[in-house]
Structure 1
């Protein structure tokens, strides 16, 4: 009985993994069919999941980005005030307008920051990041080996393919 359950479990696991992998490959192929110079020359080499992105990780990235933007706006206020102080003969209306804009931006970003200070330990999956190696003809007709990062949502639907890893398209819904 234990052997039957184990075999059944392993079979189910292999079928679901193959289903997810074929869904990912299909999304990549569709993307390349629309965007590659010679999509018919595409040859799959390897697809490897690098990272499982969770809600907590996304919240942490959002908070880090907002904190950086707030600090940048604060630095701009200091800079504009220094211009006003160091150059009193110049009209300061432009600097005062920039200070006001930065203050408004800080207020908006601070509200957004507080709204995103959620549980960073939330392990619910929102997406996956993988590397994809493939061969495809370049503009000169030569077959190149390429490697790109690919982002998928939690259901393994294709989101983006890029040479740089940016996590920009994985959002909490």
Structure 2
């Protein structure tokens, strides 16, 4: 019984530590693009939206812009994910700062864009 309980606890520990594809992509981005990746501390990674052709057309129309590039595309075609990424990391002076970014990812979880959220 004791062995079974220990095995169950071990399995739960490893299953909780598994990264989502979004987290894995961001972790790789941090390792290859940050000046001090060892200083990185994830606060949260949250999917905000799944953007489709239909949603993009609505945004264009609300801004009074044309959207001919989407006219021959199926309305439910996936374009990208938008993800909120909050974290702490050292800035170029070595001081720890709080960051809040919006990240875009394609269907293969490759980061296609990122911008800071101004508060």
Structure 1 runs of 4+ aligned residues shifted over 4 Å read 59-66
> How many residue pairs are counted as aligned between the two chains?
102
| Unaligned stretches of 5+ residues in structure 2 | 1-14
Q: Which of residues 20, 28, 41 is equivalent to 1:43?
A: 41
Which structure dedicates a bigger proportion of its chain to helix?
Answer: 1
Shift in Å at residue 145 of structure 1? 1.4
Q: In 2, distance between residues paired with 1:47 and 1:33?
A: 16
Scaled by the length of structure 1, the TM-score of the pair is 0.47
Q: Gaps spanning 5+ residues in structure 1: where?
A: 1-14, 68-111, 165-173
CA RMSD of aligned residues (A): 3.2
The one of 150, 165, 168 aligned to 2:103: 150
Which structure has more RCO (C-alpha within 8 Å, separation ≥ 6)?
A: 1
User: Do the aligned partners of residues 128 and 144 (structure 1) sit closer, same or farther apart at CA in structure 2, a change above 3 Å counting?
Assistant: same
Counterpart CA distance in 1 for 2:27 and 2:101 is: 13
Distance 1:65 1:30 in 2: 38
1:148 aligned counterpart, secondary structure? strand
